[in-house]
Structure 1
């Protein structure tokens, strides 16, 4: 039983015990059928209280931005994301603006794996996007031209290796698609192999508790330098294709998280000049 339910259960059990004692001392001891009926009533009460509490539960990940108006809550998971993400780093990073968020689900049962938010440095002067561009064009322009980030928050306890396997499958599928479209040369594919192996090796074989954020940051392009993808607190890799396509995989078609794609698309509808 969760810690949330323990006080409720203890109070209900105390009430049951007191009622039974009073009945015993009054020579009106409950019959066996009556006692059996009491158990489902008790657990039904506990579950009803838990359901009522869960409807109002919001998980705030940043105490400094937990005030009303400073966060946006994923309605599917009640996980809150800061509207402005500030990342501490040795090299100065811009403040990231929340562009959209959504839940990642798996299987036909729609099991919720994590909530994910897409952030970008929308103040970058290189973002010269006409308002008439399509949402997909705007997303690609942002990913190609400025610093952006993905913040992933598991809805249940998982492991770094489980997330890593999902990332690698997405990149492998992205590579096949890019090759089919003629957007990936043999030289680029060969150069991507070492960074792909590095990405796979940087995730530890340890647990990632639920509601613990994992941030992946794509740095803005620099002249004569490959793009950098940072897995916060775990490491970084340097390769144009891997770094860029890791983020773009979230927006191909309906995306890895269709609610994320829908949210980002809607919020970029009026973005541009």
Structure 2
């Protein structure tokens, strides 16, 4: 009877069940239309940690790169400031201030009064006089009468250079080494005999040997120590001109440190006796003064007995219409003080001004290149 009704019989293998819902059955979970955020705390913490780490690395990399760039720029600037000027010389090759090559030559110009000036390469203190005259210090009451009649002594410039401090090369002063013109022959003879005992002048190979010895930290200091102890040269001076405003206390501290550094090596024995201590107290007392403006002259003079005379020209006499004159501000009798101070510029592992040491050695080599006595004759 179902055939006429049009109904299709289902296979018996198909089990059709209609689910029924009771009060115990679970309600089907329907998807919600509201957005749901699945937060992963550990993942967020890891991402934050990675971000902060990368940020720190980036900042430290920038800091290191900046410091390296600053140090490199300062180093290159110092090299340019200390590089010897490539200047042509107006002096003949026989002159003690003319170098054997362009790097060692010094330009000599003349001022309005006809005085010869050597260019320093510094804009604040552009020139140094080629020769200076230094009158003798006031004689003591027990000095012989001949000493009172002695006139000024002429000194000849051997070499000069700039004193710089710190790794960025802060310029402090220009210093020049002068030797009494009449005493150059004794220095020529002593250095020549040191290399070749039978020679009166040195050939190129011997001059190179002397240059190496004077620039050697140990051999150079020993050579100058012996020469100064013997009074060779008998009279010499260091002329110090600040390139920036300073004071006597600042200069004193630098000089005292230099003397104390050289004192243990003087004559192969340490200078620490009571007499040397008293001499150092006298030296400090000389510099118990005020300011030293730039371009003012401080002259340190060592006489034939090794006595140190400190002279200063503040320029006040020029302002009042005078010609300018140095004033003796103090004296130290112990020759070890001046010898240690001289070694601070002339020799050692570390000198106050390497350009000055190089220039002085170049001037010394020019001396020994010619026969003994001829340099003084040409300068005079």
Residues 79, 148 of structure 1: alpha-carbon distance in 2 compared, 3 angstrom cutoff: same
2:134 partner SS = coil
Matches within 5 A, 1:1-273: 70-77=116-123, 78-89=125-136, 90=138, 92-124=151-183, 126-127=186-187, 128-129=189-190, 130=192, 131=202, 132=206, 134-135=210-211, 136=214, 143=228, 144-145=231-232, 146-176=234-264, 178=265, 183-185=268-270, 189-221=273-305, 227-232=306-311, 233-253=328-348, 254-272=350-368, 273=372
Q: Is the 8 A contact 2:115 2:129 kept in 1?
A: no
Q: Is the 8 A contact 2:154 2:181 kept in 1?
A: no
The separation in 1 between residues aligned to 2:224 and 2:152, in whole angstroms, is 20
1:65 Cα deviation from its structure 2 partner: 5.8
Q: Is the 8 A contact 1:65 1:82 kept in 2?
A: no
The separation in 1 between residues aligned to 2:186 and 2:131, in whole angstroms, is 20
Which sections of structure 2, spanning at least 5 residues, go unmatched?
1-109, 139-149, 193-201, 215-219, 312-327, 373-380
Q: Is the 8 A contact 2:162 2:356 kept in 1?
A: yes
RMSD across aligned positions (CA): 2.6
1:268 Cα deviation from its structure 2 partner: 1.3
1:142 Cα deviation from its structure 2 partner: 6.1
* TM, length-normalised to structure 2: 0.48
1:248 Cα deviation from its structure 2 partner: 1.6
1:156 partner SS = coil
Q: Is the 8 A contact 1:161 1:205 kept in 2?
A: yes
The separation in 2 between residues aligned to 1:218 and 1:243, in whole angstroms, is 7
1:101 Cα deviation from its structure 2 partner: 0.4
The separation in 2 between residues aligned to 1:117 and 1:123, in whole angstroms, is 18
The separation in 2 between residues aligned to 1:85 and 1:74, in whole angstroms, is 16
Counterpart in 2 of 1:60? none
Question: Alignment length, in residue pairs?
Answer: 201
Q: Is the 8 A contact 1:102 1:257 kept in 2?
A: yes
1:204 Cα deviation from its structure 2 partner: 2.8
Q: Is the 8 A contact 2:258 2:340 kept in 1?
A: no
* TM, length-normalised to structure 1: 0.66
Q: Is the 8 A contact 1:71 1:82 kept in 2?
A: yes
Counterpart in 2 of 1:57? none
Which sections of structure 1, spanning at least 5 residues, go unmatched?
1-63, 222-226
